[in-house]
Structure 1
């Protein structure tokens, strides 16, 4: 599991786990629910161009950190073997998060039911 995701006090808290803290260059990300537009599962997103990396890691089958494409910043922390959870944000440094989590369908439902 790359990420632990919690909902506490109307905030979405993403904590990269283990070595992923180093490779993603982030210890924790927090977002108020008023800045979350929604969540989906997008199995094809990992085949798209990620843009420019920095800071972060990009090796075949694993992406972690900040990637910039068309002026938008996306935080990735996912392996190709995971089902990608895409969380759309507004009024934040990142436009979206692309995460690998233990129960992706459950996380998407939980986020969408809380916004």
Structure 2
């Protein structure tokens, strides 16, 4: 359940692939780049309670897809248990974070964290 992530000076775009589009009930998520706070790899997040699923799909120990609410915040998950989770922290958005699986998690985290300030000044 990998996602395709595209980034330009205006937006971060997350596109679920294959059946995960149906499971997550999302074709894509578009976030203005100025609302992206940062990203990190956080393997332990897959072992934590996700919260209330609404709407979405979960097979604990296998995958999570969709919206999950916990402690007054909403997160979007689209990841298999075997993937390395990339957590993208957001501000001023419906979701406070996106937890996704991608083909090259280290590269995505570096791209987001190393270019955030550049994107912000290009606005």
Give the shorter-chain TM-score range: over 0.9
In the TM superposition, residue 33 of structure 1 has moved relative to its aligned partner by: 1.1
Can you give the 5+ residue segments of structure 1 that lack an aligned partner in the other structure?
Answer: none
Segments ≥4 residues shifted beyond 6 Å: none
* 2:72 is the counterpart of 1:71: yes
Question: What is the TM-score when the length of structure 1 is the normalising length?
Answer: 0.97
Aligned Cα root-mean-square deviation (Å): 0.8
- Segments of 5+ residues of structure 2 without an aligned counterpart are 117-123
Counterpart position of 2:7: 7
Hey, which of these two has a bigger chunk of helix by percent? 2
Greater Rg, structure 1 or structure 2?
Answer: 2
Using structure 2 for the length normalisation, give the TM-score. Answer: 0.91
Cα displacement (A) at 1:2: 2.0
- Residues 12-31 of structure 1 deviation map (CA, whole Å, 9 limit, x = unaligned): 00000011100000001001
Q: Number of aligned pairs? A: 115
Matching residue of 2:88 = 87
